[in-house]
Amino acid sequence: MAVPKRRNTSSKRNARRANHDKVAAPNIVPCPNCSAPMVSHRVCPACGHYKGKAVGKAPAAEEK
Ligand SMILES: [Zn+2]
């Protein structure tokens, strides 16, 4: 296993972490079915639709 030869300076470490260790915010888009905010490429939590079709369990408000 490769082992680092030298310890990085704190400025090197901080410069690396400044841009590479960030957590990206989830991509929030309006649902095409109910226009509620939802994470893209996921089933809508408000209406249970995905790609224009009802999939999985729809919430109680939709079933009534
Ligand atoms: Zn929806």
- The pLDDT value given to residue 61: 53
pTM of the model: 0.48
Q: Which residues surround ligand 1, an ion (CB under 5 A)?
A: 31, 33-34, 44, 46-47
pLDDT band for position 52 (cuts 50, 70, 90): confident
Q: What pLDDT, in 10s, does the model give residues 16-43?
A: 888 877 777 888 999 888 888 989 888 8
Q: Name the DSSP letter for residue 33.
A: T
Could you tell me the residue ranges of all domains in the chain?
A: 27-64
How many Å lie between the centroid of ligand 1 and the Cα of residue 27? 15
Confidence of residue 64 (pLDDT cuts 50, 70, 90): very low
Q: If residue 10 lies in a helix (H) or strand (E), which one and from where to where?
A: helix 10-20
CA of 44 to the centre of ligand 1 (A): 5
- Taking the centre of ligand 1 as the mean of its atom positions, its distance from the CA of residue 26, in whole angstroms, is 17
Residue 59 has pLDDT above 50, yes or no: yes
CA-atom Rg of the chain in angstroms: 21
